[in-house]
Amino acid sequence: MPAITDQLDLDNLGLKPGGGMRFETAVRVGGYVFGAQRYELSAEPLPVLIDASRTSSGYVVRVRSKFAVKGPCMRCSDDFSLELKIDHSEVHEPSLDEELASDYVTGDDLDLAALVHDAVGLALPTSIAGELDGEGGCKSCGRTRQKLLELGVAAEDDADLDTVGDAPREPDPRWAKLRELEL
């Protein structure tokens, strides 16, 4: 396991403009909470591959990693593991434009832990759940659609998602112009 690096002094890398380097490190990321459920990464600290390059007046830092997120399935509540990867680049060029100043860099210090934590958060799906089989059952736990209905974690009919009470849901008028497009 590589050394743990939560803060990185970019100046200490000794890069000249146009130069770059690649190295492996480990970063403490921590867990995530969705809907009052806690999700952890398969590796803590997380092994990360860093590509750092020097521009004329700043830096570009690319972080990459593969990992699994572990926690309860949002569909069936059983233990679930989801394989993910990150490939995120952060540009820090404050002398060219104020908007190019990275929030993760203060002086020459890069908050690598915050950068990787946010990159992992951006890679997480909105629903951490296993795939459905052809009949609407959960592939990860093997429960059938009927069992999921009994547990109260599946809708009786897919049409239930598009209705309010017994009346069909009216389309949002703000999307009217888009419905006119012929694609």
Q: Decide: 112 and 6 in contact? Cβ < 8 Å.
A: yes
Q: Is residue 92 part of a domain?
A: yes
Q: Is residue 174 part of a domain?
A: no
Q: Is residue 57 part of a domain?
A: yes
The predicted pLDDT at position 29 comes to 94
The predicted pLDDT at position 16 comes to 95
When pLDDT is cut at 50, 70 and 90, the band that residue 166 belongs to is: very low
Q: Decide: 139 and 157 in contact? Cβ < 8 Å.
A: no
When pLDDT is cut at 50, 70 and 90, the band that residue 71 belongs to is: very high
Rounded Cα distance between 46 and 118, Å, is 13
Long-range Cβ pairs for the range 120-123 (8 Å, 24+): 120/29, 120/32, 120/41, 120/46, 120/65, 120/67, 120/84, 120/86, 121/32, 122/86, 122/88, 123/84, 123/85, 123/86
Tens-place pLDDT, residues 12-44: 999 999 999 999 999 999 999 987 889 999 999
Q: Is residue 138 part of a domain?
A: no
Q: Is residue 54 part of a domain?
A: yes
Tell me which of 130 and 49 has the higher pLDDT.
49
Expressed as residue numbers, the domain containing 26 is: 7-123
Q: Is residue 16 part of a domain?
A: yes
The predicted pLDDT at position 52 comes to 97
Lowest mean pLDDT among 58-67, 78-87, 113-122, 165-174: 165-174
Rounded Cα distance between 52 and 56, Å, is 13
Q: Is residue 150 part of a domain?
A: no
**Domain count for the chain:** 1
Q: Is residue 166 part of a domain?
A: no
The predicted pLDDT at position 34 comes to 83
Tokens 């997480």 sit on residue: 124
The predicted pLDDT at position 83 comes to 93
